[in-house]
């Protein structure tokens, strides 16, 4: 083979839209990873999406492995969700007063997750930000003044100031630092805010134990991704989960950020799957079925600290929005009504994992695959499969090789996550024939990377 077998898709319409967008929006996008900065090329402007496929402004069709970064677990334009939103639309789009769908979704979420009470927001960022304010308010009620929180390197919890510290994904740059130090990963975050966020390496139980021993009395909460998606997929070890539970002994609240994993890894999230017992959890993405929703909830005695019942203020003009609640309700009900969906997603995604391993090995391209349920990252590095466990190890990946592979996939109509440090998501709309087409494309793509490297 002398040249790449891949014919690039046309991008004239996307290019034109991107040029207009850049004139009026920073970087031309409303969320950074959409700009394709780490893989190069023109971001595709999407015209519509149905099932497992996206269609872009040039009419090219892509098999989608992003699912809007997680929410679209049923696939795009799912009939039940479309009908629920269309039905809600007949009754007006926002009331600024409570309404019945908020009650139904709260009942459903508490029943499925085991949380006693839940409060809805409009994004995952709001949910984690509010949960941390609540944790500080709750743990300081006896005058102990716990100001600090702990997070883990490479975990992303949205873009609230105090959480933009060693924060993964698009922010995975050359962050230095060691136990307990915190450097803002964004301009505009005062060092004073960042200083209240202590950082540990993920999957390092000894470091967490040491930090809690030294500073436990000052720490309001430990927030973590129960399976990390935002540094690529990282899976927690049992020892690390045990150390997380020990933080409660120091009086800190344990906050599971299930914005990505909630209703994705099981009906009771990563916590249900892995036996985690957090004091509070945060949700987003799937809970809104593709509309803007977040939520936080957990122990009744803690949640009762939220206004208007308690002294910790939190509000939202569009919180509990009827269209968003309708989409969330329809999505969670469809998941609950299909007991086979989680085993199917797991078996399809592990089939994808195995196929990628085989294809990369045959082409002589080193990859290390982490997969759990419908989440998967293939790190371009030669660590054994399943062994990448923290940010430092993930960051060893060959991002140039990933970018070349990504472009080769895109050129064949497969829309993978445009960053090495993201999970891909398989949806209920993917079938075996989509998986086979993906693996066929992946074989070509690994071969073209290998030829590119040797020429
Ligand atoms: C996406 C995500 C967030 C932020 O949610 P937004 O709705 O984008 O604000 C927070 N935490 C995790 C784990 C996420 O994956």
Q: For 303-348, how does the pLDDT look when each residue is reduced to its tens digit (9 = 90+)?
A: 999 999 999 999 999 999 999 999 999 999 999 999 899 999 999 9
Interatomic CA distance for residues 103 and 119, integer angstroms: 10
* C-alpha distances in Å from residue 260, one per residue of 224, 234, 286: 12, 13, 8
53 belongs to a structural domain? yes
Does one domain contain both 404 and 416?
Answer: yes
37 belongs to a structural domain? yes
1 belongs to a structural domain? no
Nearest C-alpha neighbor of 223 from the set 185, 257, 262: 257
Burial code (b: 16+ CB inside 10 Å, e: under 16) for 90-104 equals: eeeeeeeeebebbeb
Does one domain contain both 346 and 287?
Answer: no
Does one domain contain both 421 and 315?
Answer: no
Ligand 1 atom nearest 292 alpha carbon: 7
144 belongs to a structural domain? yes
Distance from residue 389's CA to the centre of ligand 1 (Å): 20
Q: For 379-438, how does the pLDDT look when each residue is reduced to its tens digit (9 = 90+)?
A: 999 999 999 999 999 999 999 999 999 999 999 999 999 999 999 999 999 999 999 999
Distance from residue 128's CA to the centre of ligand 1 (Å): 8
Name the residue range of residue 259's domain.
Answer: 79-337
Residues lining ligand 1, judged by CB closer than 6 Å?
123-125, 128, 156-158, 225, 229-230, 257, 259-260, 284, 294
Choose the final residue of a domain: 291, 315, 337.
337
CATH number at residue 400: 3.90.1150.10
Choose the final residue of a domain: 306, 337, 368.
337
For β-strands 280-283 and 294-298, DSSP reports them as: antiparallel
Q: What angle do CA 93, 96, 98 make, to 5 degrees?
A: 95
| pTM of the predicted model as reported, rounded to 2 decimal places | 0.95
* C-alpha distances in Å from residue 265, one per residue of 58, 269, 278: 34, 5, 16
Q: How many domains does the chain have?
A: 2
Q: Which residue has the tokens 């009744």?
A: 300
Does one domain contain both 206 and 289?
Answer: yes
Reported confidence tier of residue 455, pLDDT bands at 50, 70, 90: low
Q: Cβ(98)–Cβ(227) under 8 Å?
A: no
Instruction: List phi, psi (to 5°) of 338.
Output: -120, 80
Burial code (b: 16+ CB inside 10 Å, e: under 16) for 15-53 equals: eebbeebeeeeeebbeeebbbbebbeebbbbbeebebbb
Ligand 1 atom nearest 294 alpha carbon: 7
At 168 the pLDDT is 62
Q: Which residue has the tokens 């005062």?
A: 190
Does one domain contain both 36 and 141?
Answer: no
Does one domain contain both 116 and 151?
Answer: yes
4 belongs to a structural domain? no
Distance from residue 262's CA to the centre of ligand 1 (Å): 11
Average pLDDT, the chain: 93
Q: For 249-284, how does the pLDDT look when each residue is reduced to its tens digit (9 = 90+)?
A: 999 999 999 999 999 999 999 999 999 999 999 999
6 belongs to a structural domain? no
CATH number at residue 195: 3.40.640.10
Active site residue 415: no
Burial code (b: 16+ CB inside 10 Å, e: under 16) for 233-254 equals: bbbbeeebbebbebbeebbbbb
Does one domain contain both 237 and 225?
Answer: yes
Does one domain contain both 56 and 130?
Answer: no
Does one domain contain both 102 and 16?
Answer: no
Best probe residue, ligand 1, of 170, 259, 269, 290 (max atoms within 8 Å of C-beta)? 259
Active-site hit among 56, 58, 62, 285 = 285
Does one domain contain both 367 and 256?
Answer: no
5 belongs to a structural domain? no
Q: For 127-172, how does the pLDDT look when each residue is reduced to its tens digit (9 = 90+)?
A: 999 999 999 999 988 767 899 999 999 999 999 988 888 776 544 4
Where helices occur in 198-340 by DSSP H, the ranges are 205-215, 238-246, 269-274, 300-303, 322-337
Helix (H) or strand (E) holding 445: helix 432-454
Does one domain contain both 292 and 419?
Answer: no
Cis bond leading into 308, ω under 30°?
yes
C-alpha dihedral sign at 151, 154, 155, 160: positive
Enumerate residues 6+ apart whose C-beta is below 8 A from 249.
none
Angle at which helix 322-337 crosses helix 100-113, to 10 degrees, equals: 40
Residues shown for the chain: 455
285 belongs to a structural domain? yes
Say whether 415 sits in a helix, a strand or coil.
strand
Does one domain contain both 185 and 219?
Answer: yes
Choose the final residue of a domain: 289, 315, 337.
337
């Amino acid at each position: 083979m002398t040249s790449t077998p891949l014919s690039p898709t046309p991008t004239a319409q996307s290019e034109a839209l991107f040029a207009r967008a850049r004139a009026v929006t920073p970087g031309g996008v409303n969320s950074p990873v959409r700009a394709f900065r780490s893989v190069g090329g023109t971001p595709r402007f999407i015209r519509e999406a149905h099932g497992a496929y996206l269609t872009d402004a040039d009419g090219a069709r892509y098999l989608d492995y992003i699912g809007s970064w997680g929410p679209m677990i049923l696939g795009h334009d799912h009939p039940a969700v479309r009908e629920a939103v269309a039905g809600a639309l007949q009754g007006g789009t926002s009331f600024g007063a409570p309404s019945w769908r908020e009650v139904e979704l709260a009942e459903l979420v508490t029943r499925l997750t085991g949380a006693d009470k839940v409060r809805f927001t409009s994004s995952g960022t709001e949910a984690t930000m509010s949960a941390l304010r609540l944790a500080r308010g709750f743990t300081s009620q006896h005058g102990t003044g716990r100001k600090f929180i702990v997070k883990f390197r490479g975990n992303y919890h949205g873009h609230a100031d105090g959480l933009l510290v060693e924060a993964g994904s698009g922010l995975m740059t050359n962050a230095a630092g060691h136990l307990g130090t915190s450097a803002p990963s964004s301009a505009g975050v005062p060092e004073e805010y960042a200083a209240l966020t202590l950082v540990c390496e993920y999957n390092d139980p000894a470091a967490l134990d040491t930090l809690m021993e030294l500073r436990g009395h000052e720490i309001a909460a430990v927030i973590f991704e129960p399976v990390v998606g935002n540094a690529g997929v990282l899976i927690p070890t049992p020892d690390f989960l045990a150390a997380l539970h020990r933080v409660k002994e120091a009086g800190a609240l344990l906050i599971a950020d299930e914005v990505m994993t909630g209703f994705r890894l099981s009906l009771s999230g990563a916590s249900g799957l892995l036996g985690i017992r957090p004091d509070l959890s945060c949700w987003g993405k799937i809970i809104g079925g593709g509309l803007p929703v977040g939520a936080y909830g957990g122990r009744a005695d803690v949640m009762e600290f939220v206004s208007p019942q308690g002294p910790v203020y939190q509000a939202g003009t569009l919180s509990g929005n009827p269209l968003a609640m309708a989409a969330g309700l329809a999505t969670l009900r469809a998941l609950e009504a299909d007991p086979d969906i989680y085993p199917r997603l797991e078996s399809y995604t592990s089939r994808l994992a195995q196929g990628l391993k085989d294809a990369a090995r045959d082409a002589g391209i080193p990859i290390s695959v982490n997969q759990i349920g419908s989440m998967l990252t293939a790190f371009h590095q030669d660590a054994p499969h399943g062994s990448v466990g923290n940010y430092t190890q993930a960051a060893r990946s060959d991002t140039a090789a990933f970018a070349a592979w990504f472009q080769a996939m895109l050129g064949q109509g497969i829309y993978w996550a445009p960053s090495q440090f993201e999970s891909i998501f398989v949806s209920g709309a993917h079938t075996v024939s989509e998986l086979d087409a993906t693996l066929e494309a992946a074989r070509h793509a690994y071969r073209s990377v290998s030829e590119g490297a040797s020429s």
